[in-house]
Amino acid sequence: MSALPIPTLELSNGYQIPQLGFGTYKISAEDCVDTVKYALDLGIRHIDTAQMYHNEAEVGRAIEESGIPREEIFLTTKLNNDKHLPEDARRSFAQSLEDLRTDYVDLFLIHWPLPTLYGGDFVQTWRTLLEFEQQGRARTVGVSNFQIPHLERLMKETGVMPAVNQVEIHPHFANNQLRSFHLEHNILTEAWSPLARGTIFGDEKVISAAKRLGKTPAQVVLRWGIERGDVLFPKSVTPDRIKENLDIFDFQLDEQTKADLDSLDKGEDGRTGSHPDTMALL
Ligand code: NAD
C-alpha cells in the first residue's frame, strides 16, 4: 500500500514529525506486532509507545519486520514513573533502545512529572534526558503531562524548554490555556487520547457533524485536532478503524462544525485520565 500524504510539523530543533501517528497504549504484546505492522503498511510512519505499555519489544519487532528503513519512521517512547532517578533512567533508556531494536529514538519523553514523588525533582530527570539528546541516542527530548508551572520550572532551572509536551486533549477537554503557553514557547503539542478513549462518539453535535460531512464521528473528532495544529496518534487494534482514522486528509471542517466541537469543552470535568498535579503511581 502506498504512503498517505500525512503532513509533517517542524520541532523547535528542526526535526520533522508526522502530524498523525499510531498510539499503542493497551495494545497487548500478543496483538502488537501484527497491529503495528498493519499500521505501517497503511502508510503510518509515527509510532507512540512507552516503557509503561510493556510492548516496546513488539513495536521494535514490527518495525524490523516491516522492512521499512528505520530513518523513515518517527519513534517515540517514554520514561517509566519508577525510573526517574538518574541511574535508573540511564539503565531503562538503554533497555528501551535494545527492546526497540534501534540505536536511537526520535523522541524520548518523561511520561509524568510526579511532583509529589522524588522530592518533586523532575528537573533532575529532565537533565538526565538532556544527556541522551547530547549523545544522539534521543534525537529530541520532551515531556508529557507537564502543567505550566512544571514547564516554567524546567526553563528557570535548566534554561532548556522541552520541544514537545504530550498531554490529554480532545473536544471534551480542549486544554486551551496550556496549548497557548506551548505556542508562546515553541513547544509542540501532542494530544493524547484524541478520541477521548471512545467516549465522545455518542455526542449529538459530533454525530450531526459527521452526517453533514459524510464522515464518521472518529474522523470528525480527529480532524478537529489536526486543524488545531496538534500531533495525534489515535489507537485501535481493529483494521477498519485504523484505516478510517487515517482517512482524514480529504476534507475540512466548516465553521459551524468547528464552533460546535469547540463548544463541547467541559474544562477539568472533561479529563478522562489522571491529573498531572496529583498523579503519583509508580
Ligand atoms: P484514543 O482516544 O486514541 O481512543 C482509543 C479508543 O477509541 C480505542 O480503544 C477504541 O475503543 C476507540 N476507537 C479508535 N478508533 C475508533 C474508530 N475509528 N471508531 C470507533 N472507535 C474507535 O485513546 P488512547 O489510546 O488512550 O490514546 C491514544 C494514544 O495516546 C495512546 O495509545 C498512547 O500512545 C497515547 N497516550 C499517552 C498518554 C500519556 O500519559 N502520555 C496517556 C494516554 C494515551
Tens of pLDDT along 94-108?
Answer: 999 999 999 999 999
Cα distance from N-terminal residue to C-terminal residue, the chain: 41
Determine if ligand 1 sits within 6 Å of the CB of residue 224: no
C-alpha 192 – ligand 1 centre gap (Å): 7
Q: Is the pLDDT of residue 3 over 50?
A: no
With 0.95 as the threshold, say if the pTM is over it: yes
Length of the chain: 282
Task: Give catalytic residue positions.
Answer: 53
Please tell me the distance between residue 134's alpha carbon and the centre of ligand 1 in angstroms: 32
Among residues 234, 168, 183, 227, the alpha carbon closest in space to that of 7 is found at 227
The atom number, within ligand 1, closest to the CA of 111 reads 41
Q: What's residue 4's pLDDT? A: 64
Q: In the chain, what percentage of residues exceed pLDDT 90?
A: 98
Which residue minimizes the CA distance to atom 27 of ligand 1? 193
Cell for 66? 516491516
Nearest residue to 280 via CA among 126, 35, 82? 82
Q: Are 144 and 112 spatial neighbours (Cβ–Cβ below 8 Å)? A: yes
Give the CA-trace dihedral at 103, 105, 106, 110, to 10 degrees.
Answer: -150
Q: What is the mean pLDDT of the chain?
A: 97
Query: pLDDT tens for residues 248-259?
Result: 999 999 999 999
Quote the pLDDT of residue 2.
47
143 CB-near residues (< 8 Å, 6+ apart)? 109, 110, 113, 126, 150, 151, 154, 162, 164, 165, 166
Best residue among 75, 150, 197 to mutate for probing ligand 1's pocket (most ligand atoms within 8 Å of CB) is 197
Pocket flag, ligand 1, residue 55 (CB < 6 Å): no
